[in-house]
């Protein structure tokens, strides 16, 4: 059996919270840190910046919207490391409040990346996560707010403990379809594509954690969603009240939960505290 180094991977890590998470992991994680970005030049520039700080991340291109790109990354991780120890799903998009793009287009694009692409990364990479691995899906309390603004019927569906991944996918598709048909409010949805996408990520995290318990309980893998808070980034704008370093704290805390930890698991965590939702 070859002896592999441990490895942590961060998606969407060339700037913002993802960059701060990669930096912290370079400082604290015992193993290699792979910084991924859709744009190769920006990703390599981010790696050079961290190298200038005396850190040594590796770079690998990843466009989470492209299944082939995800699979190429999986092949790299298998070959170089025999799998994966820590996965931080940080990549995501958000339209600005005053963006003139029609709401149905915003809904389709936001869910495509934040929910469906994140799900694809989980589908492809979870099977190669090693025992005692840690998976962190960067979500948002905007998802919890979106849930509160859903109809009672939808709230019941999202909160159902036996909701399957397939059921959740159908709900996410229905939201996009309802926005196209201009009936989403009538059908009980809130007016926040970002909020619904992050609601999807939070619920997906609970479903995936439950599946890990059923199929790989002995491996003691912990999978959680988290909210980094409202951070000053290109995505959130300058009105954010937190620095990217503060935004990285909870994701990094979850990524580095000790090997003997049994919780949190399948939870939404904010400021290192499990949230009821």
Q: What is the model's pLDDT at position 229?
A: 79
**Which residue shows structure tokens 């709230």?**
155
Please list, in sequence order, all residues whose beta carbon lies within 8 angstroms of the beta carbon of residue 220, skipping any fewer than 6 positions away: 131, 132, 259, 262
Got the DSSP string for the chain?
-PPPPPEEEESS-SSHHHHHHHHHHHHH-SSEEEEEESSHHHHHHHHHHHHHTT---EEEE--TT-HHHHHHHHHHHHHHHSSEEEEEE-------TT--S-HHHHHHHHHIIIIIIHHHHHHHHGGGEEEEEEEEEE--HHHHHHHHTS-HHHHHHHH-TT--HHHHHHHHHHHHHHHHTT-TTTTT--S-HHHHHHHHHHHHHHHHHHHHHHH-GGG--EEEEEE--SB-BTTTBTT-SB-HHHHHHHHHHHHT--TT---S-S-EEETTEEPP-
Residue 179: the pLDDT is: 98
Residue 237's pLDDT is 55
- CA 205 to CA 119: how far, in whole Å? 9
Instruction: Determine the pLDDT at residue 242.
Output: 78
pLDDT tens digit at each of 277 positions of the chain = 566 899 999 999 999 999 999 999 999 999 999 999 999 999 999 999 999 999 999 999 999 999 999 999 999 999 999 999 999 999 999 999 899 999 999 999 999 999 999 999 999 999 999 999 999 999 999 999 999 999 999 999 999 999 999 999 999 999 999 999 999 999 999 999 999 999 999 999 999 999 999 999 999 999 999 999 766 555 555 556 778 899 999 999 999 999 999 999 999 999 999 998 7
Domain 7-96+111-140+195-275: assigned CATH number: 3.40.50.720
For the record, the structure tokens of 121 come out as 């990364």
Q: Quick one: how many helices (H) and strands (E) in the chain?
A: 10, 8
**Active-site residues: which are they?**
194
């Amino acid at each position: 059996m070859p002896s592999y180094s441990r490895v942590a991977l961060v998606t969407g890590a060339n700037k913002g919270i993802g960059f701060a998470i990669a930096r912290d992991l370079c400082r604290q994680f015992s193993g290699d840190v792979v910084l991924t970005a859709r744009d190769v030049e920006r990703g390599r520039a981010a790696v050079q910046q961290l190298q200038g700080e005396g850190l040594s991340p590796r770079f690998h291109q990843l466009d989470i919207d492209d299944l082939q790109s995800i699979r190429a990354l999986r092949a790299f991780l298998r070959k170089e490391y025999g799998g994966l120890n820590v996965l931080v799903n940080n990549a995501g998009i958000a339209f600005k409040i005053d963006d003139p793009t029609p709401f149905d287009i915003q809904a389709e694009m936001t869910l495509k990346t934040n929910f469906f692409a994140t799900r694809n990364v989980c589908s492809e990479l979870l099977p190669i996560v090693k025992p005692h691995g840690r998976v962190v899906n960067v979500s948002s309390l905007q998802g919890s707010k979106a849930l509160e603004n859903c109809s009672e019927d939808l709230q019941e569906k999202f909160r159902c403990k036996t909701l399957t991944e397939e059921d959740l996918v159908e709900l996410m598709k229905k939201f996009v379809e309802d926005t196209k048909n201009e009936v989403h409010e009538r059908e009980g949805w809130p007016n926040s594509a970002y909020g619904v996408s992050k609601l999807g990520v939070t619920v997906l995290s609970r479903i995936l954690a439950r599946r890990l318990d059923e199929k790989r309980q002995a491996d003691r893998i912990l999978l959680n969603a988290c909210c980094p808070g409202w951070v000053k980034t290109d995505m959130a704008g300058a009105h954010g009240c937190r620095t990217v370093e503060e935004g990285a704290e909870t994701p990094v805390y979850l990524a580095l939960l000790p090997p003997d930890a049994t919780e949190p698991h399948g939870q939404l965590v904010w400021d290192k505290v499990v949230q009821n939702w």
